[in-house]
């Protein structure tokens, strides 16, 4: 063992002894949907007169977070489209139909990251393929790291928030006019390290 390795090993042991964290390598996380610590919310303008809000109740996924090299991180999320909830039963029935999500034919939507860019390790652009109604488009999620650390139950968690937009026409959804052509998505993701 050369002198540099000895110094690094001693530093790591000293940090561990004092309860300090040593810079993490890549770690895999399961998104905590069971504990309801993750959300996929959306809003869309209703004809330019108000905002309609909703969310997807059923989704799952995982991510790899590489603190040392965030560009090596990755994300994979699957959404059960029938779980759409806008707090209005008749509207949700319409959203599940062929005019919008067509859940009987396409029960799942999926996002798989292809590239992550960051300049500071806290803010990132997550590029990836989003598939909805059998149509795949590249989207970009603007993400920010909220925090990470130990939880009270002996686990370790990391949380992120992200936003992106979808064009209704890209996924062959009903044309509601120019004021309602864009869906705004907000993703709140907390993962448990595996």
Domain ranges for the chain, please list them.
Answer: 23-193
Burial of 105 (0-12, 13-18, 19+ CB in 10 A): exposed
Cα Rg, the chain, nearest whole Å: 20
Where does the pLDDT of residue 55 fall: very low under 50, low under 70, confident under 90, or very high at 90 and above?
A: very high
Full-model pTM: 0.85
pLDDT digits (tens, 9 = 90+) for 113-125: 999 999 888 899 9
Q: What is the pLDDT of residues 153-191, one digit of tens each?
A: 999 999 999 999 999 999 999 999 999 999 999 999 999
Residue 9 to residue 7: CA distance in whole angstroms: 6
Band (22; pLDDT cuts 50, 70, 90): very low
Instruction: Identify the H or E element spanning 95.
Output: helix 89-96
The pLDDT value given to residue 30? 98
What's the rounded Cα separation, in Å, for the pair 107 and 70?
32
Helix (H) or strand (E) holding 8: helix 3-17
CATH topology (fold) of 23-193? Lipocalin (2.40.128)
CB 111 within 8 A of CB 77: yes
Closest alpha carbon to 189 in 20, 95, 56, 23 = 56
Under DSSP, is residue 94 helix (H, G, I), strand (E, B) or coil?
helix
């Amino acid at each position: 063992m050369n002198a540099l390795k000895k110094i690094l090993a001693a530093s790591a042991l000293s940090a561990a002894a004092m309860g300090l964290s040593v810079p993490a390598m890549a770690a895999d996380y399961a998104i905590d949907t069971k504990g309801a610590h993750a959300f996929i919310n959306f809003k869309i303008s209703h004809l330019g007169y108000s905002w309609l809000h909703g969310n997807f109740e059923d989704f799952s996924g995982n991510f790899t977070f590489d603190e040392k090299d965030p560009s090596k991180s990755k994300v994979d999320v699957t959404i059960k489209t029938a779980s759409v909830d806008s707090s209005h039963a008749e509207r949700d029935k319409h959203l599940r139909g062929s005019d919008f999500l067509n859940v009987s034919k396409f029960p799942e939507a999926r996002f798989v990251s292809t590239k992550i860019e960051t300049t500071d390790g806290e803010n990132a652009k997550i590029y990836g393929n989003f598939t909805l109604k059998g149509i795949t488009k590249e989207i970009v999620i603007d993400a920010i790291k909220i925090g990470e650390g130990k939880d009270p139950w002996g686990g370790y968690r990391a949380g992120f928030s992200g936003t992106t937009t979808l064009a209704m026409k890209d996924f062959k959804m009903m044309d509601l006019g120019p004021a309602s052509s864009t869906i705004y998505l907000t993703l709140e993701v907390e993962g448990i390290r595996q």
